[in-house]
Structure formats: C-alpha cells, structure tokens
Amino acid sequence: GEDVEQSLFLSVREGDSSVINCTYTDSSSTYLYWYKQEPGAGLQLLTYIFSNMDMKQDQRLTVLLNKKDKHLSLRIADTQTGDSAIYFCAETAGAGSYQLTFGKGTKLSVIP
Amino acid sequence: GAVVSQHPSRVICKSGTSVKIECRSLDFQATTMFWYRQFPKKSLMLMATSNEGSKATYEQGVEKDKFLINHASLTLSTLTVTSAHPEDSSFYICSASVDSDYSGNTIYFGEGSWLTVV
C-alpha cells in the first residue's frame, strides 16, 4: 500500500540550512509535493517535482528526488524564524491521480 | 490561477447538531473533489472522493452516514458532519483539480475548515 514517512521534528538555528527528508513507497507516483502548514492555517503549496526529475530549485528551496531509493528531500537555505511550521511531503496516489497521500508532517523549529 | 474556496474557515457547533462545509471551485469545473481530515499528530487522511452527480467513494473506516458528501454541481461539493461529537473536532480540507489538465500544479486545496464541537 501507499505510505509516506517523514521524521516528526527538526530544529535548526536561524541562518542555517534545513533539510527535511521523506520516503515514499508508490513508485508510480507522478508528482511529489511539499506543503507548509503554519499553526491554525491551511496548506500552502511550497513546491512540487515531477517524478522523472532529480532536482528542482526555487529560490531558497531545493528539492532532491532519488527515485531508486524513493527518497525525497526539501532543503531550505538561510532558514528564517518565519519558516517555523509543519512541512508535509505528499505523493500522488498512482499515475494520473489527483488524490494525494501525505506524510505525518515534520515540525520545523527555528531557533533565533 | 485556479482557486478553491472553502467555507466556513472556522466553525463551532454544539454536540448533536450538524454542520455543513462547502468546497467551491471558483473558476474551473471539477468533476472530482477530495475531502481530507487532519488528526492531531497525524497526517491528512483522505476521507472520501466526491464525484459530481454520483455517490461519493468513502475510504475504509469513514462513516458515510455521518459524513455526508454531496457534489451536486461541477463547482460545488459539500461535506455535512451529522450529529457532531467532540471527537469530530478536526481540520477538514478539500481539494479539486481541473479536469483533463493533469500536471504538478493543478491540484488545488481549499483554505480548510477548523471544526470545534462543544
């Protein structure tokens, strides 16, 4: 079955880089996503990557995808206190699906 | 770009009453919408797939008589939590996608609805 795993907590100092890791099981996923959720708020799409890509960079965000190991990571450069939030990894539930399977979320705490 | 509007964003209701949450695609048609629920310290779990003009498809363990889903038009799906109990308090969020436009940025989420049952 589909399963997305990610560590629950990450703590970094302001200005350092954050790396949030995720593993998934569905090799037929077409797209993989990173969402951000701030306390009391909804989901904010940060970035996504097509399953045939290895890397995608968008300003301070870098997504790395290792399809062989089914490993996805999100690197946030120059982490700021405003980056403190829960980050969800998600995969499409199979090729051509609009349904997403989410990880449990990684709570990122940024220490000033 | 495509927008999905969800209403209400926050609602407090008394135990035993019903509450309706709307998910509306504002500038596109969505044959299929999805409803997710977020449990404390758990991820967003798919509750059901809402199909326009037909019955919703519920995930295992989700009570279809308690969580009524109606997708009466191509732009509106509603989730009604019937006879709400405090354990139904949660964050509910919907997603919709543009039909026949499958790409990475065409899954749109509503703002989510925080339900508190007292």
Is the Cβ pair A100, B107 closer than 8 Å? Answer: yes
CA distance B18 to chain A (A): 22
The percentage of residues in chain A with a pLDDT greater than 90, rounded to a whole number, is 79
Sorted by sequence, the CB contacts under 8 Å of residue A81 that are 6+ apart come out as A14, A110, A112
- Asked whether A43 and B94 are in contact (CB, 8 A), the reply is no
Average pLDDT over residues A68-84: 97
- Mean pLDDT of chain A, nearest integer: 93
pLDDT in tens, A19-57: 999 999 888 888 999 999 998 888 999 999 999 999 999
- Mean pLDDT of chain B, nearest integer: 91
CA distance A8 to chain B (A): 9
pLDDT in tens, B68-115: 999 989 999 999 999 999 999 999 999 998 766 677 778 899 999 999
3 state SS of A54: coil
Closest A-chain CA to B41: A104
By Cβ distance, the residue of A43, A48, A96 closest to B93 is: A43
